[in-house]
Chain A
Amino acid sequence: MLFNKRTERIFFWVFFPLALLMPLFLAENTFFVSKLTSIMIFALFVMSLDYLVGRCGLITLGHAMFYGLGGYLFWMIAPEYEAVNFWVYTFYICMIAAAVALIIGFLVLRTSGIYMIMITLAFAQMAFYFFSDSIEFGGTDGLFIYVKPETSIFGLSFFDLDNPTHFYYLCLLSLFNTLIFFRILIRSRFGRVVDAIHENPGRTTALGYNIFVFRLMSYVIASALGAYAGYLFTLQYGFVNPSMLAWTTSGSALVMSILGGMGSIYGAILGTFVYEGLHYVLEHLTEHWMLFMGALIIAMVMVFKNGIAGSMEKLLEKRT
């Protein structure tokens, strides 16, 4: 079975049918459709981070670098006034991001623990200043994307990216595929070795695995998916700017992933929806929403150690 926990199956069968039907209820309200779309895009990004931090034990504070890179790469490689094919460019962007991640990962993964947190942050800051200081990339204002890609495969086009509801379904499909992909990856032989490395790197090495290669592969996969999320963000809003790569983006993604339940993958969706939902509600109640958000984060670390997924599992799993 793809999901080995009951909680995960329940989540799967509640979330996806609900998300599938949601636009039918919100047909009039395009604001909520695009709000939910942007949350799903960020959930995809958080999921890739959750795999890296929770599954591989590689704590990074620089994951937003790839989120931003996804957006800037599209601007760089796509012609400005011509609609390109969405699927082809998805492939290009993921491949280029993977190549960048291969080089950076090769350097970053030489360090570990606290040093890795710092050096990933350093690379992300470098990228941040590179884009925010250069005139060619629009500086702090960023850049506009004038033409959105078309999505035909073999002449058939299912999604019109200018239509918010179509874009919503494209993002839902992406989120669904990413979740399934990570589940398959975790259950595969590769995923088992990654879990073993997280558990005990020394012993895994002794068993004859080159742990550096497995870590590097994981880093590359997570980074490419992070870039894909950034690419979707850019397409949704039609712009890209340096705040996408700011360290606060990495920080809040980390908070969401921990809120959801580190390493559970589906928890990333829960964490992002709860965080963004609270953010939305608090922001409308008071301009000092940060105070409550901060208090919530502190309370979470103190009391609520395994995140939402962990607490749900405690409630729902059969005691053995």
Chain B
Amino acid sequence: MTTSLFLVQLINGLQYGLLLFLIASGLTLVFGVMGILNLAHGSMYMVGAYLVWYFVEHTGSFGLSALISAVIALLIGILMERTLIRQLYRRNHLDQVLLTIGMIFVFNALQGLLWGNDPLGVAVPSALSSAIPVTDVLEYPVYRIFVALFCVGIAALMYFMINKTRLGMLIRAGESNREMVECLGIDIRKLYTIVFAIGVMLAAIAGVAAAPMSSIVPGMGEHILITCFVVVVIGGMGSIKGAFIAALLVGLVDTFASILVPQLSSMMIYILMAFILLIKPQGLFSS
């Protein structure tokens, strides 16, 4: 492998890892704070991609479409939490698994109903459609670099929100002792709604960001969901820091495995996960 190819793959791996972090962070946040395992999280990734396609078709502007899609996702999140997820806080994981599998069915059916089952594509926004030449024959698309930087920005924002703001303080308090938070006179139900809606929105934003890089197909949600499980489990359920490191690890392993050991490439991240869980059954950074 030449140095330039190595560099391109390194950036690819990091960029993929950062995108995974965006989805996995929502999953792990919801689990850490609310104790809910949301299998329908991947569906929101799919919803984000389809929404941005729909609005780009109608408005022509990617930025505006992205914004509208994020807001709609936030509203869907609030609706989901208020009507269904709320009933599950005192139930076991099995009921949560079942309810969210039901939601996957509903989301997939709605996607088929509204947008059909043909693969769709979104054009890369014109401002970001150029490519940076790496060598004479290799070049790297600006949009991918933009997505990577955008994900880093979101990660920084989340770090700031959780560690420095009042909302973050409540989230951390809710994680360690929910009864005590309630005793202090804080409406934990409102906090849960906010956390769930943010988690869902993060997944949808990842879907929006991924839309111009990959084709929009039915079932894209389930595929990414399983990969995010791997990330969340390696990082330790509920740990955002863990999710960040694990997402980069998974992104890099997946990218390099497809070049170095193509026969094992799809299995590699699961092997990694099994290996890590055998050494640390609670993941790398369990809370």
Q: List residues of chain A with CB under 8 Å of any chain B CB.
A: 53, 59, 61, 107, 110-111, 113-115, 117-119, 121-123, 125-126, 129-130, 132-134, 247-248, 251, 254-255, 258, 262, 287-291, 293-298, 300-302
Contact assessment for B84 and A111 in the assembled complex, using a CB-CB cutoff below 8 Å:
no
B139 on interface, CB distance cutoff 8 Å: no
Q: List residues of chain B with CB under 8 Å of any chain A CB.
A: 31, 37, 84, 87-88, 93-95, 97-99, 101-110, 112-113, 222, 226, 229-230, 232-233, 237, 263, 265-267, 270-271, 273-274, 277-278, 281-283
Contacts A247-B226, A298-B102, A300-B98: A118 and B109 contacting too (C-beta < 8 A)?
no
CA distance in complex: A117, B273 (Å): 13
Which single residue of chain A is at the shortest CB-CB distance from B111? Answer: A290
CA distance in complex: A301, B277 (Å): 31
Count chain A CB atoms within 10 A of each CB in B84, B270, B282 and give the residue with the most: B270
Contacts A121-B226, A133-B263, A258-B94: A290 and B105 contacting too (C-beta < 8 A)?
yes
Count chain B CB atoms within 10 A of each CB in A59, A107, A293, A301 and give the residue with the most: A301
Contact assessment for A126 and B97 in the assembled complex, using a CB-CB cutoff below 8 Å:
no
Which residues of the partner chain A approach B106 to less than 8 Å between Cβ atoms?
A: 290-291, 294-295, 298
CA distance in complex: A163, B271 (Å): 43
CA distance in complex: A125, B254 (Å): 15
Contacts A129-B266, A295-B106: A258 and B274 contacting too (C-beta < 8 A)?
no
Contact of A126 among B110, B265, B274 (CB under 8 A): B274
Which single residue of chain B is at the shortest CB-CB distance from A130? Answer: B267
Contacts A122-B230, A126-B274, A258-B94: A298 and B113 contacting too (C-beta < 8 A)?
no
Which single residue of chain B is at the shortest CB-CB distance from A247? Answer: B226
Which residues of the partner chain B approach A121 to less than 8 Å between Cβ atoms?
A: 226, 229
Which residues of the partner chain A approach B108 to less than 8 Å between Cβ atoms?
A: 290, 294
Which residues of the partner chain A approach B105 to less than 8 Å between Cβ atoms?
A: 290-291, 293-294, 297
CA distance in complex: A291, B113 (Å): 9
Which residues of the partner chain B approach A59 to less than 8 Å between Cβ atoms?
A: 93-94, 97
Contact assessment for A115 and B237 in the assembled complex, using a CB-CB cutoff below 8 Å:
yes
CA distance in complex: A177, B115 (Å): 47
Could you write out 10 A-B pairs with CB less than 8 Å apart? A126-B271, A288-B109, A291-B109, A295-B106, A296-B102, A297-B98, A297-B105, A298-B99, A298-B103, A302-B84
Which single residue of chain B is at the shortest CB-CB distance from A296? Answer: B102
CA distance in complex: A59, B281 (Å): 16
Contact of A301 among B102, B110, B230 (CB under 8 A): B102
Count chain A CB atoms within 10 A of each CB in B230, B267, B283 and give the residue with the most: B267
